[in-house]
Amino acid sequence: MRPTEGTPVYRPDLGLVVEEGLEFEDLGLIGMQLMPPLLVPDASGTFSVLPEEAFNSLEETERAPRTAYNRSDWTYETGFYKTREQGHEEPIDDTDRAKYERRVSGVSVDTLAVKRARGIIGRNQEKRVADRILNESNFYTDTASAAINASESPGNPIDIVKDAVSYMRNNYGVLPNMLEMNWKLFRALKSNPFVVDRLKYTFPGIDIEKLSAAQVAHMLDIPQVIIGGAMYNSATQNKKKTVTLNEFWDPNYIFLGLVSTSPDELDPCCGRTFVWTEDSAEEPLVETYREEQIRSDIYRIRHQVGETLLKSVDDNDTVLTDVSRKCGMLIKGVYTT
């Protein structure tokens, strides 16, 4: 259904098609796995934070006859979030539409336009999440004994990760359930002598060139390993023949995090993406309208989100409980170029 006038028309059908057909993992975009969405009714506001001393509290549960049960009476602390609108438009000129429809048989031109816009939004969101996660001021950072891909005396990724998990458990009382690494580092694992030796016993007969993230997770004893493989061009827009490729996820870092997809805002985790539901649902919404002066159908995709590290503050903006910092850890020095 093509737009016939300038007033934007909501197109949930296009939004559904795009979300079902566009796998961000296939594009190497992993940010939303580390900071999953939390739906909120306001564009900005507060969220409740469980105080640090309540994370692993042991409370009385035994009840004597004719007495009340013990109940939680923690005083919740307060954190703040702010969402910002993110969106992009893709025009389809009438001449281009006719050409596409002749060349791309059986595929909706509308869907192709929306997928392009969705990819642009996804890359920008990936950059925002990566900038928060790979920031040494936000998480405790340890240095690996040696780079995993070093030509001489390489580091043992199995021990490096094992020590980091122990650190988080001993110091924060949490066990990470997700590990992030860059695509280059993932490839380097395939020639690391410690990994090659371990795989002989963990997965006998494995073709190491087909090593999967799930198999690495099993080897490292981490519930999930995700690989950041996408890159972005940081060159000035429309500067002819100029491409400057950068990694979203620095291969010199590994991130270990406790990730939650629970709708409970009190659930400790390394971060959340607050999504304002009045502006859009969990997934970005799609709108279309006609712009006759350029003889084009316009496809707009937008949502209002805020990628937020979880921490509570007092009236003077002094941090009381830094939840994210207690649910994540960086390891640097793992890859050398």
Fold of 9-52+75-332: phage-related protein like fold (3.90.1690)
66: left (phi over 0), alpha (psi -120 to 50) or beta: left
Say how many CA atoms lie within 13 Å of 258 toward its Cβ: 21
Q: Which residues contact 147 (CB under 8 A, 6 or more apart)?
A: 154, 155, 333, 334, 335, 336
Confidence class of residue 108 from pLDDT cuts 50, 70 and 90? confident
How far is Cα 145 from Cα 154, in angstroms, rounded to an integer? 9
Residue with more model confidence, 1 or 295 = 295
Write out the two tokens for 105: 């048989």
Q: What is the pLDDT of residues 24-81, one digit of tens each?
A: 445 678 999 999 999 999 999 999 998 888 877 778 888 889 888 888 888 899 999 9
Strands of 220-336, DSSP E: 225-228, 231-233, 245-247, 253-257, 272-276, 285-291, 296-308, 311-313, 319-322, 328-332
Q: What percent of the chain has pLDDT above 90?
A: 62
The H or E element spanning position 162 is helix 157-172
Residue 225 forms beta bridges with which residues?
A: 179
pLDDT above 70: residue 23: no
Classify 98 as helix, strand or coil.
helix
Confidence class of residue 111 from pLDDT cuts 50, 70 and 90? confident
Q: What is the pLDDT of residues 83-92, one digit of tens each?
A: 999 999 999 9
One DSSP character per residue, 314-331 reads -TT--EEEETGGGGEEEE
Instruction: Note the pLDDT of residue 43.
Output: 94
pLDDT above 70: residue 1: no
Instruction: Note the pLDDT of residue 6.
Output: 74
pLDDT above 70: residue 20: no
Classify 148 as helix, strand or coil.
coil
